[in-house]
Amino acid sequence: MRADLCISLLRDASFPVEFLVKCIPSRFKIGRIQLPGNPFDLVVSDPAGQTLSELESFRSIQQVLAKLI
């Protein structure tokens, strides 16, 4: 089964996170930071000087997706 959407709310650029994101066979991937090899189709970064929680980041992603649909 292939997922249509993968959302990573992690701000971690460690190898295990990079490996998992690259191995997930989804059509569209969203993340908070871009990883080596650019696996994400859309990156929703934290505002300059702020660190958003996972919930705040998810809400930002929801707003972006609502504008695209």
What is the tens place of the pLDDT at every residue in 8-48? 999 988 899 999 999 998 999 999 999 999 999 999 999 99
Are 15 and 69 in contact by the 8 Å Cβ rule? The answer is: no
Spatial distance between the Cα atoms of 15 and 3, rounded to a whole number of angstroms: 22
**Domain boundaries, given as residue ranges, for the chain:** 5-68
Beta bridge partners of 28: 5
User: What's the confidence (pLDDT) of residue 1?
Assistant: 62
Position 69 confidence tier, pLDDT thresholds 50, 70, 90: confident
This prediction has a pTM of 0.85
